[in-house]
Amino acid sequence: MTKQMVTAVILAGGQGQRMGGKDKGWVEFRDKPMISHVLQQVKPQVSGIIINANRSFERYQSLGYPVIEDSASGFHGPLMGMLTGLRHASSDWILFVPCDTPLLPTDLADRLYQAVRKNNADLAVAHDGERLQPVIALLHKSLLPSLEAWLEEGKRKIDRWFMQHKMVVVPFDDGESVFMNLNTPEELKEVEAGYCVV
Domains in the chain with CATH codes: 3-194 (3.90.550.10)
For residue 188, how far is the Cα from the chain centroid? 19
**What mean pLDDT do residues 58-77 have?**
83
**What mean pLDDT do residues 75-94 have?**
90
> Is 70 assigned to a binding site?
yes
Min mean pLDDT across 64-68, 94-98, 176-180, 188-192 is at 188-192
Has residue 38 got a pLDDT over 60? yes
Has residue 137 got a pLDDT over 60? yes
Min mean pLDDT across 16-20, 56-60, 62-66 is at 16-20
pTM equals 0.87
Measured distance between the N- and C-terminal CA atoms of the chain, rounded to whole angstroms: 26
> Is 92 assigned to a binding site?
no
> Is 119 assigned to a binding site?
no
> Is 175 assigned to a binding site?
no
> Is 174 assigned to a binding site?
no
Pairing mode, if any, of strands 28-29 and 48-53?
unpaired
> Is 137 assigned to a binding site?
no
3-state SS string for 172-186? CCCCHHHHCCCCCHH
What are the beta bridge partners of residue 195? none
> Is 112 assigned to a binding site?
no
